[in-house]
Chain A
Amino acid sequence: MVERSVTVPPGVGLHARPASLLVQAAAGASISVTVARPDGDPVNARSILALLGLDVRGGERVVLRADGPGAEETLDRIARVVTAMPPADG
């Protein structure tokens, strides 16, 4: 199991558009990826409904996990999507 801990940029929050970007990135991966709050249960990164339910706000940390071939590269790519998220506009 490979892990990455990333901070969602301040002022973003995993709602609507940012969550869509994360889901699309995860859907493009060949292995499954989970997202969790640091001490919380992991949810499927391809599920926008589950991600919205996490209610992750800007400045908070999330833990990405994956297992299997290419897990390191996959998580690096998804982590970059999270850290480069555009700011919220409502």
Chain B
Amino acid sequence: MADPIGPLRGVGASPGVGVGPVVRLADRLPEPPRDAPTDDPVAAWAQASDALAAVAADLEERGRRAGPEARAVLEAQVLMVRDPDLAAEVARQVRAGSTAARAVYDAFGSYRTSIAAAGHYVAGRVADLDDVCHRTVARLSGTPPPGLPTLTEPAVLVARDLAPADTAVLDRTKVVAFATEEGGPTSHTAILARALGVPAVVACPDVSALPEGVTVMVDGGSGVVRADPTVEELAAVRGNGARSATGVATTGSAAASGLDQGRTADGDPVELLANLGDPADLAGALAHGAEGIGLFRTEFCFLDRSVPPSEQEQAALYRQVLGAFGGRRVVARVLDAGADKPLRFLPPQRREPNPALGLRGVRLLRRYPELLAGQLRALAEAVSGTDADLQVMAPMVADLDDAQWFVTACRDVGLVAPVGVMIEVPAAALRAAELAVEVDFLSVGTNDMAQYAFAADREVGAVARLQDPWQPALLDLVACVAAAAGAAGVPCGVCGEAAADPALAGVLVGLGVTSLSMSAGALPAVRAALATHTGAACRAAAAAARAAKSPAEARATARGALSTR
């Protein structure tokens, strides 16, 4: 059957493929009438200021329920609603005879033009301004605020643009993809979709033509939205674990949903694991089909504590995570703290001029060996009597001495689990061969590796260009580690943002990486992408990326190599 609506092209803003029926976000409210003057400016002003205050309170409440990205935006919106100049303009309009609704509409409108004309970062705030304006006008006209319909079934959400106030409280189990007419790669829709792990296509004006209820396939990688996808197209993405309203469930356990294991098109297994920072995220990891936990950050049970948690308390927390994954692999990274992540129960550290280079990771544990011994005993206790596949690894190992010290510390407490080290320091990557023979596995942390290899602080936005995971030099370091692990016959994982990029995941596999660990939301897209690439294509893409002279060239040539085979 030919598509009645051809493929619609926009900009891919969050990777992955989602399939489901279209649910449209209600269109914007009509403009309040101009020709309904009021003769009671005092009452109109009181209505307007009550409505503005109520909208501010509502946005503040939404901010409290939102994640950090959305919260910052909602806080800016609260400042807009409470803007003193705006209030003065509303007051001026009602004195001139406007109704409260019209005065609010015109007052926001007076700022809209200058903001819309500004550079692209500022212009992105027009959607935020429109949203708060419409919320206030809706309140004054007694109509429901613009926003999401209550979703009862999983759906693809189609809108002109999404306001942070909507997406912040979105039921993420019900949305399989976003498609918006407006917005760009830096819009809130894009940022939030990536944070939620939901595929998204933005800047696709033609989605306005999609009728409610029609099934669409949203490909956040290529930026294509396809109405009424063919059975073959659906089967291709469903079999590969795309998010789907009717195929693989986004709720329930991975075991029950029967998700495929990660593998290349020719069947080479690639373990796809989730990063976990808090046991509360276990459900998400299971729902997205994680085959295990590749990076279990154990800091959560130590931070904000004035005394260290007891071994019994730690063991109970670890058991929760191990239990959820049955016999599957859970890699616990022991306490990774330091100057920028201080522990209140340790004596204050000397102020470090450069915390990234100071007493942190395994270095801190070497200073406080009993802290590590207690944690290792708790891990040993948590795993005893279970069939869990616990593995432990040390953060920020710099050399052979660090690695040997950690292995000895594990053996000294009688922990029998496999012991590995994180390779985040370029020195450790260059000498990975001598580390690999001492440990049971290596795990590359690409975020810190980029920070150290490029002398580019992760927290400094001005050097963010150098944090690009497609930097060929970073890929060289990963290649060096993977080759050393392969020669020693030990597994080599990658955890970090690099693993979450579907194309880069193929490159990493081509470099010899055997498992990828990422935020759970990225798993379906990576699983789907890997299943379309052969091992040979991955190796060709890896070679092409390493031969490139810039991240952009690496990205382009690797994608070319992956798509032509």
Interface residues of A (CB under 8 A from B): 9-13, 15-17, 19-20, 23-24, 43-44, 46-50, 52-53, 55, 57, 86-90
Contact = CB atoms under 8 A, between A and B. Distances in A.
B73 A16 contact: yes
Given A49-B80, A49-B129, A16 B121 contact: yes
Contacts of B122: 13, 15, 52, 55
B461 A49 contact: no
Contacts of B117: 55
Given A13-B119, A53-B111, A55-B119, 12 more contacts: A9-B462, A11-B462, A12-B461, A13-B121, A17-B72, A23-B79, A43-B85, A48-B79, A49-B111, A53-B115, A55-B122, A87-B462
B111 A15 contact: no
Which of B76, B129, B464 has most A Cβ within 10 Å?
Answer: B76
Nearest to B460: A87
A20 B79 contact: yes
A52 to B, nearest CB: 5
B55 to A, nearest CB: 15
A89 B108 CA distance: 26
A15 B118 CA distance: 10
Contacts of B186: 90
B370 interface: no
Nearest to A88: B461
Contacts of A48: 76, 79-80, 83
Contacts of B461: 11-12, 86-89
Contacts of A46: 83-85
Interface of B: 72-73, 75-76, 79-80, 83-86, 108, 111, 114-115, 117-119, 121-122, 124-125, 129, 186, 191, 460-462, 464
A36 to B, nearest CB: 14
Nearest to B118: A55
A85 B460 CA distance: 11
Contacts of A43: 85
Minimum-distance CB pairs A-B, first 6? A87-B461, A55-B118, A53-B114, A47-B85, A49-B111, A11-B462
Contact of B121 (A15, A23, A53): A15
Contacts, number: 78
Nearest to B86: A49
A49 B83 contact: yes
A50 B119 contact: no
A9 B83 CA distance: 25
Contact of B85 (A10, A17, A44, A88): A44
B241 to A, nearest CB: 28
The residue among A10, A13, A44, A49 with the most chain B CB atoms within 10 A of its own CB is A49
A87 B325 CA distance: 39
Nearest to A46: B84
A52 B118 contact: yes
Nearest to A17: B72
Contacts of B125: 15-16, 52
Given A13-B119, A20-B79, A47-B85, A52 B72 contact: no
7 contacts: A15-B121, A16-B121, A19-B76, A48-B80, A52-B118, A53-B115, A55-B114
Q: Which of B73, B111, B129 has the most CB of A within 10 A?
A: B111
Contacts of A9: 462
Contact of A53 (B73, B75, B118, B462): B118
- From A15, A24, A43, residue with most partner B Cβ within 10 Å: A15
Nearest to A49: B111
A50 to B, nearest CB: 6
A16 B78 CA distance: 11
Contacts of A19: 76
A55 B462 CA distance: 19
A87 B465 CA distance: 13
A16 B186 CA distance: 13
B381 to A, nearest CB: 40
A89 B194 CA distance: 13
Contacts of B464: 87
Most buried by B among A13, A48, A53: A48
Contacts of A44: 84-85
Nearest to B111: A49
Contacts of A53: 111, 114-115, 118
A15 B125 CA distance: 8
B103 to A, nearest CB: 15
B75 A20 contact: yes
Most buried by A among B72, B84, B124: B84
